[in-house]
Amino acid sequence: MTATSLPPNSVPRVRVRVNRLVLYTVLVALTGLFIGPFGWLILSGLKTPAELAASPVHWLPTDFQWQNFADAFNLIDFLGYARNSLIIALIYAVLVTLSSAWVGFGFARLEAPGKKTLFGVLIGSMMLPQMITLLPTYLIFAKLGMVDTYWPWVFWGLAAAPYLVFLFRQFFAGLPRELEEAAIVDGCGYGMIFWRIFLPQSWPVLSASFVIAFTWSWGDYIAPQLLLSTDKSTLAVAVMTTYVTSAGTPVANLQAAASVMYVVPILLIFLIAQRGFVAGMSTTGLK
């Protein structure tokens, strides 16, 4: 049967199937592109040092070295460093999520002179590289006697984060004005309106903000390396600095194995909160 003799309704169906096939092919290719580095990390953690240094590249290990994961776990106080990372990440994620929600609520629902200018300055601060503020931050915390403590993460959390403020501001700006007007008529102040009405409505953005902030803190290497001693340091610092030989050469296969275990908590948190995360990222900015 030729294309000209096809039923009229079959041509759009063929086009839809071709478009879906192209779309799925692109999605599979992108998935492989994003998963590829993590897969290579797992394979690196299962190789011997000789296989990692071999040329040409050994794509698959000759004999899977599962012992590398046990060695990476036992050579350092892995659970202790993970506990430190968890404490810091939770402190920062909880505080910065709440403080960013409060600031975003103010930008979205309150009126004040210069509000747009101040919001523009806040968004513009996202363009500043972390390295610019690194030395002043260290000097401030050193003067306050907060080096080698977790207080810097408390203050960073209370100071809110510009990107999270933007997310909350966009979400709160899309909520109906009638909600707060009815609450004001009932005698509620803006503090009560925020805690009892707006914050419970924003669970998708709360979930997304918590995951983002937790990932920021869990993956941070510079601040813990700069501010904390070895005993109070985080897993990110331990993975990068402790798997070395007596000559100071990194043991790459153990670092790779430890990095895989280091990433697992982030993956679990995202899998648990992915529905709220996707909903939060997709609903901000919609009215």
Average the pLDDT over each of 57-66, 148-157, 205-214 and give the range with the smallest value: 57-66
Nearest residue to 239 (alpha-carbon basis) of 256, 216, 220: 256
Average pLDDT, the chain: 86
Q: Which helix (H) or strand (E) holds 268?
A: helix 252-283
Compute CA distances 168 → 97, 108, 121, 144, whole Å: 9, 8, 17, 31
Q: Rounded to the nearest 10 degrees, what angle do helices 162-173 and 78-109 cross at?
A: 40
pTM score, two decimals? 0.83
262-276 pLDDT tens trace: 998 888 887 877 666
Reported as type and span, the H/E element at residue 157 is helix 151-158
Per-residue pLDDT averaged across 254-267, rounded? 91
282 pLDDT above the threshold of 70: no
Which tokens go with 163? 């990107």
pLDDT of residue 279: 58
pLDDT tens-digit map of 160-197: 999 999 999 999 988 888 888 888 888 888 888 899 88
| 173 CB burial (10 A radius; 0-12, 13-18, 19+) | middle
